[in-house]
Structure 1
C-alpha cells in the first residue's frame, strides 16, 4: 500500500509539473485595438487562432475571427457590434480578466 501511495504521489507531481511548465499568464495588448499588430499579438499571446494547421481561416476583423477568439478566451460574445466596437470590447475584457494560457488546455479565464 505504501509503495502505491508513493507511486501515485510521483505521478501526480509529474503531471502537476508538466501543467505548470507549459502554462503562462497572458498580458493584454498595449497596441491600438483593431490594428494589425493588435490582432497578431492576440493570436500569439493567447495562443488562439481560428486558422487550421495550414493557416486557412478568417481574416482579422472578420465576424468569425472575433467569435472564435471570444470563445477560445472564454469571454462574452460581442456579435452584433461593429468591428471597432468588438475590438474595444475584447480589449476591455482582456484588461479586466486574468487569463492563463496552457499549451495543453488553451486559454483559461481564472478571474473576471
Structure 2
C-alpha cells in the first residue's frame, strides 16, 4: 500500500513546545511519515532557538503501526530510537540506540 498524499494525511498526534525565552507555547500536529524538527519555518515542529539546528531532528511515524521513531541529525552513534507506547511518562518509553535506519 502506498503512503497517502499530503492532502489525505490525518494527524495521529501532537508535540507540545512549551513557552521558553519569550516564545509562546504551541502544539504541532504530527502525521504518518517524516515530521521534521528544527528552526526552519517549514519544519513540522518549529523550535526557534539559536541552540537548535535548522534541521535538528525528526519524528518518523509508521503508516502501518503509528509508532514513532525519534532521531536527531547528529552522528549515527548519538541517534536515539523512541518506540512509542501508551502514556507519556519516561517509564512508558523504550529508548535504545539507533544504529541503522534500514533495520
TM-score band, normalised by shorter chain? under 0.3
Structure having the higher strand fraction is: 2
What TM-score comes out, normalization by structure 1 length? 0.24
TM-score by length of 2: 0.25
Q: As a proportion of its length, which structure holds more helix?
A: 1
Higher relative contact order (CA 8 A, sep 6+): 1
Please say which structure displays the higher CA radius of gyration: 1
